[in-house]
């Protein structure tokens, strides 16, 4: 319940600070691969590794379920990464390969989530869809466009890491 409350608070603060009409998308966490997580622990901590999981597939599933429930309650779109990665019809490789250490996304995992997020935006929020650059085909260049995406926050390189609150008008 605390997790759900925190997600609702983040959504509320986002709307309070950026406007009630801001579009939000909730993203559920990915699954946890037990074998890869234990291997990472052993590789990192060697003989000091506990051999006990600090995260589990079951627990990550509970967090994913909570996220989808909050999204439903707040009437927000949700990218259910936990379910999508384990659904063999939506993946091109075993879901475990989408995780670098059994917990965090690998390069392939980031690509998977990014592509799924673009698909969700195109389907549910087409006014925010980004048209790729006509020259490069990339969406990460200055010549890409979006019909109605407004800038509501500073670019990452404009944030003063010593006083980040000043970068957001606080």
d(CA 77, CA 17): 20
Reported as half-sphere exposure (CB side, CA atoms, 13 A), residue 127 has a value of: 6
Local structure of 109: helix, strand or coil = helix
The alpha-carbon radius of gyration of the chain (Å, integer) is 19
Q: What is the three-class DSSP state of 99?
A: strand
Residue 158: its pLDDT value, please?
77
* Token output for 6: 């925190």
| Burial class, 99, CB count within 10 angstroms (exposed 0-12 / middle 13-18 / buried 19+) | buried
pLDDT band for 150, please (50, 70, 90 cuts).
Answer: low
First-residue to last-residue Cα distance in the chain: 29
pLDDT of residue 126: 87
The more confidently predicted of residues 157 and 21 is 21
Q: What is the pLDDT of residues 31-46, one digit of tens each?
A: 999 999 999 999 999 9
């Amino acid at each position: 319940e605390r997790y759900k409350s925190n997600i609702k608070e983040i959504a509320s603060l986002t709307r309070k600070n950026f406007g009630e009409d801001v579009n939000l998308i909730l993203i559920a966490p990915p699954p946890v691969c037990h074998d890869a997580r234990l291997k990472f622990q052993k590789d990192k901590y060697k003989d000091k590794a506990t051999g006990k999981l600090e995260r589990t597939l079951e627990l990550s599933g509970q967090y994913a379920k909570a996220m989808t429930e909050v999204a439903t309650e707040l009437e927000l779109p949700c990218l259910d990464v936990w379910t999508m990665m384990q659904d063999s019809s939506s993946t091109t490789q075993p879901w475990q390969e989408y995780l670098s250490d059994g917990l965090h996304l690998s390069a392939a995992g980031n690509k998977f989530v990014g592509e799924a997020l673009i698909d969700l935006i195109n389907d549910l929020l087409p006014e925010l869809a980004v048209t790729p650059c006509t020259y490069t085909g990339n969406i990460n260049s200055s010549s890409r466009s979006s019909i109605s995406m407004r800038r509501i926050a500073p670019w990452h390189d404009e944030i003063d890491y010593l006083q980040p609150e000043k970068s957001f008008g606080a």
